[in-house]
Amino acid sequence: MTSPLQLKSVSKSFASKERPILAVDNVSFTLTPGKVTGLIGPDASGKTTLMRVMTNLLIADSGHIQVLGLDMATQGHAIQSSLGYMPQSFGLYEDLTVQENLDLYANLQSVPLEERPKRYKILLEMTGLQAFTQRLSGQLSGGMKQKLGLACILIRPPSLLLLDEPTVGVDPVSRRELWQIIYRQVADEGMTVLVSTTYLDEAERCYEVLLMHEGKILGQHKPADFNKTLTGRTFRLEAKGILYRQLLTQLEYRSDILDASLGEDNIHLISAADTPFDQAALLSDLRLLKHVTDLRITPAPAQFEDVFIATLKAQTTTLSPPKKIKTVINKTSPEDVIKVVKLERRFGDFVAVKGISFSVRRGEIFGLLGANGAGKSTTFRMLCGLLPASSGSLSVAGHDLRTASATARRNIGYMAQKFSLYTNLSVSQNLRFFAKAYGLSKSRQAERIQWALTTFELTDYQNSNAGELPLGFKQRLSFAAALMHEPDILFLDEPTSGIDPLARQEFWQRTNALAETGITVMVTTHFMQEANYCDRLMIMAEGQVLAAGTPNEIRQLATTDNQAMPSIEDAFIHLIEEHTPPQDITS
């Protein structure tokens, strides 16, 4: 079987003000037929450009591309006609219904009329959209949109399928369903799939992985082979008497540890390549910390995320050593700064939030988990005073921000789900604006802007337009803007959605450090692994609270006989499926 996709020395550059940007730099690879290959790389590594070059949407400057036996240079349109491609935006017409979108693509692919009913039935069942055929696709949740986008492409199953970050902003349940669909296509139709993603657990499931960085392909291997490169360098650290995220702050700055991240009820360590750490020395260093007991380091299997970080992490340590840990486990001032009682929000007949109650203590990282449309963002918007509650009561630092005076909003910082700073203002102009909007004094403004630029390493970008920043930097800027006025309470709505693992780690390091200074953080996320950074979690579905507690308590909810050590993700899916019986996806 010949490969459906071959690239030889393909390059693509874009003209820019200062210098041409080489987005794809001399890329060559051959895709293994009938398998799923992952295209992995940090933000702005050229993944989308590469996808577009392979779909004839952009013309390569040089090199040779062969798709399904066709030559890109001469048979571009024939290539576009035969492969399947889902762009990041899913390519759906939001003012058409689900059925109308399917009809459109069936027509575009000239699927004979008599075959359509059967095909529609299969696709609708597979995607679980049977009940929504008459709904406008713009009114579907993110996960449903993405499944519909996939269904539109699968109307006539292509032998080569290209998916550009299909799972960005999609909850774990929907992600799992999407992958089931993809793997079924591969199994049934012998389809070859190339999928770009920032979820490294997805990469781990791929047959092969292409690792891309700064326009170059760094390697093409099976995930296990990638993982082998780290043999002997990955460890698990366990301890008692301290919060893991607090312990983490003591590890991040060490030069003998390349990376430390939170695992499920442990800390995952990668030792530095040149200067691997000495276990005994590390343990004795850590024993100096107060209250810490039962320290234990054991070797752990390498994961693909480790490979990614080990390959791409800048060797220069970005963080300065932390200050002494101020507070210890179970903070002594369990004062509730956010109190929510029977909060409800209705939109017409639809109840988005159904009488939930919870409270958040000072200095706590409180996580809100849930599928798309679970009511997380609505809850956030109510807490920030952007949306009135239909009933129930809420207080944030003693105020209901809807009715409190405007100055009460000085206590909070808010980072919206979508990048929402002024795209055509520069980084420093954005920061200055928010500093002034929060009424900081002149000298304080300069001080805080300087702080933001250095802390978030934005100095090089201070005159760039915010809209033109790489995704990870946009997220840093939003974070910085929300912190300009040093709020007591931070609301972060999916702050890590769509950004790469390195940027995600940096983000959590910063959040962790903030929490240590006594700031209360309320955060939503789709990355279940990140839930481990939270002190307490609340899992929501359809506007209701399914469970609440510490990560350990949540994990225990899913502990069964055949799964002794469930992850937060397992627990989450378990809770969701218990709440709504799963559709029979495999039928």
Partner 1 sequence: MNSAASARIRLKGMLIKEGLQIIRDPSSIAIAFILPVVLLFLFGYGVSLDAKHIPIGLVVEQPDTNTASLTGSFSQSTYFTPEYFHSIKAADTALKEHKIEGIVWLKNNFSSQLLNGQTPDIAVLVNGVNSNQAAITQGYIEGTWVTWLQHYANLSGHAFKPTVELEQRVWFNPALNSRLYLVPGLIAIIMTLIGSLLTSMVVAREWDRGTMEAILVTPLHINEFLIGKLIPYFILGMGSMLFTVTLAIWQFDVPLLGSFWLLLLSSTLFMLVSLAIGLLISIVSKNQFIAGQISIMVTFLPAFMLSGFIFDINSMPEVTQLITQIVPARYFVAILQTLFLAGNIWPVLLANMGALVLMLIFFAIIVRKKSTNHLE
Partner 2 sequence: MLQAIWALSIKEFLALLRDKRSRAVLIGPPLLQLLVFGYAATFNLNHISVAIYNEDQGEASRQFISQIEGSPNFNIIQYVSKNSDIAPIINNKEALMLIHFGPNFSTNLQKNITAPLQVILDGRNSNTTMISLNYIRSILFTFNQKWASEHGSKSLPSTLQPRTWYNENKQSSWFIIPGIIGLITLIVTLTITALSVAREREEGTFDQLLVTPLTPLQILIGKALPGIIIGLVEATVIIIFAAYWFDIPLRGNIGALYLGLLLFLLSAVGIGLMISTISTTQQQAILGTFIFMVPAVLLSGYATPIENMPEIIQWLTYLDPLRYLLIITRGVFLEGDSYTLLFPQYWPMLIIGITTLATTGWLFQKRVV
* Site for partner 2, rule CB under 8 A: 381, 384-388, 402, 406-410, 412-414, 416, 418-426, 429, 432-434, 436-439, 465, 481
**Nearest distance from C-beta of residue 110 to partner 1, angstroms:** 4
Q: Which of 83, 150, 206, 571 binds partner 1 (CB under 8 A)?
A: 83
Q: Please tell me whether residue 81 binds partner 1 under the rule CB under 8 A.
A: yes
Q: Measured from the CB atom, is 75 or 464 closer to partner 2? A: 464
Q: Which of 38, 142, 149, 169 binds partner 1 (CB under 8 A)?
A: 149
Q: Which of 37, 45, 56, 234 binds partner 1 (CB under 8 A)?
A: 56
Two tokens, residue 526: 């789709």
Asked if 519 and 487 touch (Cβ cutoff 8 Å), the reply is: yes
Q: Measured from the CB atom, is 87 or 549 closer to partner 1? A: 87
Q: Measured from the CB atom, is 77 or 323 closer to partner 1? A: 77
Which does residue 81 bind out of partner 1, partner 2, none, counting CB within 5 to 8 angstroms by kind? partner 1
Q: Please tell me whether residue 77 binds partner 1 under the rule CB under 8 A.
A: yes
Two tokens, residue 296: 């234990």
Q: How many helices (H) and strands (E) does the chain have?
A: 18, 23
Beta-carbon-side half-sphere exposure of residue 200 (alpha carbons within 13 Å): 21
Q: Which of 16, 89, 333, 586 binds partner 1 (CB under 8 A)?
A: 89
Q: Measured from the CB atom, is 403 or 424 closer to partner 1? A: 424
Q: What is the DSSP letter of 117?
A: H
Please give the full DSSP string across 332-373, using - where no structure is assigned: S---EEEEEEEEEEEETTEEEEEEEEEEEETT-EEEEEE-TT
Site for partner 1 in 280-309 (CB under 8 A): none
Instruction: Please give the size of the binding site for partner 1, defined by CB under 8 A.
Output: 37
**Nearest distance from C-beta of residue 269 to partner 1, angstroms:** 41
Locate tokens 């991040």: which residue? 252
Integer Cα distance of 347 and 351 in angstroms: 6
Asked if 353 and 375 touch (Cβ cutoff 8 Å), the reply is: yes
Site for partner 1 in 447-506 (CB under 8 A): none
Q: Please tell me whether residue 109 binds partner 1 under the rule CB under 8 A.
A: yes
**Nearest distance from C-beta of residue 151 to partner 1, angstroms:** 13
Which does residue 432 bind out of partner 2, partner 1, none, counting CB within 5 to 8 angstroms by kind? partner 2
Please give the full DSSP string across 366-400, using - where no structure is assigned: EEEEE-TTSSHHHHHHHHTTSS--SEEEEEETTB-
Which does residue 481 bind out of partner 2, partner 1, none, counting CB within 5 to 8 angstroms by kind? partner 2
The 3-state DSSP composition of the chain as helix, strand, coil percent (nearest 5) reads 35, 25, 35
Integer Cα distance of 393 and 386 in angstroms: 15
Integer Cα distance of 280 and 455 in angstroms: 33
Would you tell me which residues interact with partner 1 (CB under 8 A)? 52, 55-59, 76-77, 80-96, 100, 103-110, 112, 149, 152
